């Protein structure tokens, strides 16, 4: 049976270490703030006018279904702001990678892994603790920034239709469900890599590969190949649940105490 | 307390290389309250043995029991019931000494975390530095902290891997004194060390190990087995006839004159020394001192390893 005391202790330890590192703290705070400010600025700048030379006719045909009865200016704003939804989904993926990638390989380099593994903690408790320690700040920061974004939207002068859209099911699914699922995938992948390599930089670089599918979504929408709507969100959620289950399973399987201890140089 | 039967560990390296047998058929018993010194050269398999006994890695074959728990079957109970000082302290350098110990006290499910942390920080003289980052500690302080970490949950069996390695003489003495204190509390200690003088002083029995156990006994028995016992008689002047006089005794195995001294090899000096002293005095010898020549553990160790090679 899992010991929540052990899991809590690992989270506590990881946070105590991570938050002493100013650069990591900077990454956790700066990027969400940036991703909150940018859409607000975008909305403020584009409110009350269509983008010069822009018209809904310029938008990908598939996207027009998202706009429904919106006026052309609002539809344009929703199109622009929808790109930022992808960034919001990416945040919980980017933020924890640094923490998670360093989690096992960092313990290897400081030689603290052996005494840690000599305690009665189980592999599952250790991995859950490390995963949560990386995922919670990322999801928390994303949700906090989304909350700030929602509060500040009225100040941009965006129309009611736009405000309703960013509080609609597509955005809520994206931020509240896809985000945490992305975080779980990211931390498990990063921890898995971290337990197999000997250099923290390699772990970080390899874990960053996960951003590629999300970028595919972004460019897919920009190119008009897909539209981020509720249907697509449900497909993404299903795929992420499957990916998370696979990554958790592989992470636990690939974390071989003996190999980690004896092959580490 | 610790019992192993034909414990073996083989490491498979790369595909084209033959596997390495790090530990071969180790059969050993360490009794409760005993300090057992595990001596061997670098790469002999000492750390691998400790890792197996601490349920960190699995043996390839054979079995071992720690506190009645079997490795490979009761690993969590074993880890719960032992304390281990690993080769390198491996502390969290950015965290304070107190935080480091609190983390481990929680992982060992200690009931009174604050109390135990305070007890060992005070005992090892680190209480005043408890809030300092471990990164600012000297090597000796880190080692003491690592020993405290191994004791937080009051284990009855301790594995200490090179506890004084790399420490200055003062810090090494502090650690050694503390080990003696643990010994007096009746804890079973499995001590891997390169420091033969330390092993001689602390250990009830020693095992000389190089992939396999070459010799195991008390230091005194190993001395006797390898070198016998030798007594030296310091005389004001040496008469060569006395050599022959002493050789006539049945219990005397060898007499060697060196300058004004007589080196006599015999089995039970406690019993026969008075006889020899009486005889020499009767012969007119002026005896200045009598003493036993004690071979160092280093001699035993090197002799044993040489014989093995």
Mutate to test the interface with B, among A19, A117, A120 (most CBs of B within 10 A): A120
DSSP secondary structure string, chain A? ---HHHHHHHHHHHHHHHTT-HHHHHHHHHHHHHHHHHHHHHHHHHTTSPPTT--GGGS-GGGHHHHTT--HHHHHHHHHHHHHHHHHHHHHHHHHHHHHHHHHHHHHHTT-HHHHHTSS--HHHHHHHHHHHHHHHHHHHHHHHHHHHHHHHHHHT--HHHHHHHTSHHHHIIIIIIHHHHHHHHHHHHHHHHHH-S-HHHHHHHHGGGHHHHHHHHHHHHTTS---SHHHHHHHHHHHHHHHHHHHHHHHHH--HHHHHHH--
Range from A205-219, B52-66, B84-98, B198-212 carrying the lowest mean pLDDT? A205-219
Is the Cβ pair B90, A119 closer than 8 Å?
Answer: no
Distance in Å, alpha carbon of A12 to nearest chain B alpha carbon = 8
Chain A touched by B88 (CB under 8 Å):
yes
Each residue's pLDDT expressed in tens, for chain A with a length of 265 residues: 889 999 999 999 999 988 887 777 787 788 888 888 988 998 888 876 655 445 666 777 777 777 777 778 888 888 888 888 888 888 888 888 878 887 788 888 888 999 999 999 999 999 999 999 999 999 999 999 999 999 998 888 888 888 888 888 989 999 999 999 999 998 888 888 888 887 777 877 887 788 888 888 888 887 878 888 888 899 999 999 999 999 988 888 888 888 888 876 5
Distance in Å, alpha carbon of A5 to nearest chain B alpha carbon = 7
Q: What residues of A are in contact with residue B19 (Cβ under 8 Å)?
A: none
Q: What is the mean pLDDT of residues B169-173?
A: 85
The CA-CA-CA angle for residues A219, A221, A224, to 5°, reads 110
Q: What is the mean pLDDT of residues B253-269?
A: 90
- In the block, which residue shows the tokens 């250099």? A199
Domain coordinates in residue numbering, chain A:
4-46+59-263
Window 237-296 of B, Cβ < 8 Å to A = none
Q: What is the ipTM of this complex?
A: 0.83
Chain B touched by A258 (CB under 8 Å):
yes
* For chain B, percent of residues with pLDDT exceeding 90: 64
Distance in Å, alpha carbon of A9 to nearest chain B alpha carbon = 6
Q: What residues of A are in contact with residue B84 (Cβ under 8 Å)?
A: 115, 118
Domains, in order of start, for chain B: 2-217 (3.40.50.300), 228-308 (3.30.70.100)
Window 108-137 of A, Cβ < 8 Å to B = 110-122
pLDDT at A264: 62
Mutate to test the interface with B, among A8, A119, A256 (most CBs of B within 10 A): A119
């Amino acid at each position: 049976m899992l010991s929540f005391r052990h899991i809590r202790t690992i989270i506590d330890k990881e946070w105590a270490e991570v938050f002493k590192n100013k650069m990591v703290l900077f990454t956790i705070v700066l990027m969400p703030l940036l991703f909150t400010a940018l859409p607000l600025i975008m909305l403020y700048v584009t409110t009350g006018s269509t983008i010069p030379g822009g018209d809904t006719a310029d938008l990908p045909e598939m996207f027009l279904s998202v706009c429904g009865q919106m006026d052309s200016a609002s539809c344009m704003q929703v199109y622009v702001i929808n790109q930022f939804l992808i960034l919001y989904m990416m945040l919980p993926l980017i933020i924890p990678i640094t923490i998670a990638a360093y989690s096992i390989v960092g313990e290897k380099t400081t030689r603290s892994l052996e005494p840690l593994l000599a305690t009665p903690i189980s592999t599952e408790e250790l991995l859950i603790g490390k995963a949560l320690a990386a995922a919670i700040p990322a999801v928390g920061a994303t949700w906090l920034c989304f909350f700030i974004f929602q509060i500040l939207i009225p100040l941009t002068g965006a129309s009611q239709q736009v405000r309703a859209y960013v509080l609609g099911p597509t955005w809520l699914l994206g931020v509240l469900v896809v985000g945490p699922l992305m975080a779980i995938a990211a931390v498990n992948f990063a921890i898995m890599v971290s337990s197999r390599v000997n250099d923290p930089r390699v772990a970080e670089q390899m874990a960053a590969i996960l951003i590629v599918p999300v970028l595919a979504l972004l460019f897919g929408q920009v190119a008009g190949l897909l539209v981020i709507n509720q249907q697509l969100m449900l497909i993404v959620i299903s795929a992420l649940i499957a990916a998370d289950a696979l990554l958790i399973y592989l992470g636990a399987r690939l974390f071989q105490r003996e190999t980690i201890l004896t092959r580490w140089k | 307390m610790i019992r192993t039967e034909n414990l073996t560990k083989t490491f498979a390296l790369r595909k084209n290389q033959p596997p390495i047998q790090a530990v071969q058929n180790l059969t050993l018993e360490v009794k409760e309250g005993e300090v057992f010194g595990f001596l061997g050269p670098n790469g002999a398999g000492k750390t691998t043995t400790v890792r197996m006994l601490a349920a960190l890695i699995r043996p390839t074959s054979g079995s071992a029991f720690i506190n009645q728990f079997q490795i490979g079957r009761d690993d969590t109970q074993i880890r719960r019931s032992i304390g281990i000082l690993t080769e390198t302290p491996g502390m969290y350098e950015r965290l304070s000494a107190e935080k480091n110990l609190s983390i481990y006290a929680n992982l060992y499910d200690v009931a009174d975390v604050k109390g135990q942390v305070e007890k060992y920080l005070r005992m090892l003289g680190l209480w005043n530095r408890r809030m300092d980052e471990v990164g600012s500690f000297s090597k000796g302080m880190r080692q003491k902290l690592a020993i405290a970490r191994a004791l937080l949950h009051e284990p009855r069996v301790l594995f200490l891997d090179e506890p004084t390695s790399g420490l200055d003489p003062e810090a090494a003495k502090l650690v050694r004194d503390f080990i003696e204190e643990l010994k007096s509390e009746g804890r079973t200690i499995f001590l891997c060390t390169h420091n033969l003088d330390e092993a001689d002083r602390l250990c009830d029995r020693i095992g000389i190990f190089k992939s396999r156990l070459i010799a195991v006994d008390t230091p005194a028995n190993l001395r006797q087995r390898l070198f016998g016992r030798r007594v030296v008689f310091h005389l004001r002047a040496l008469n060569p006839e006395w050599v022959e006089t002493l050789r006539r005794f049945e219990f005397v195995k060898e007499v060697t004159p060196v300058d004004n001294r007589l080196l006599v090899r015999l089995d039970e000096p406690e019993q026969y020394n008075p006889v020899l002293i009486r005889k020499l005095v009767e012969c007119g010898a002026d005896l200045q001192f009598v003493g036993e020549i004690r071979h160092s553990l280093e001699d035993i160790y090197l002799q044993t390893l040489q014989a093995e090679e």
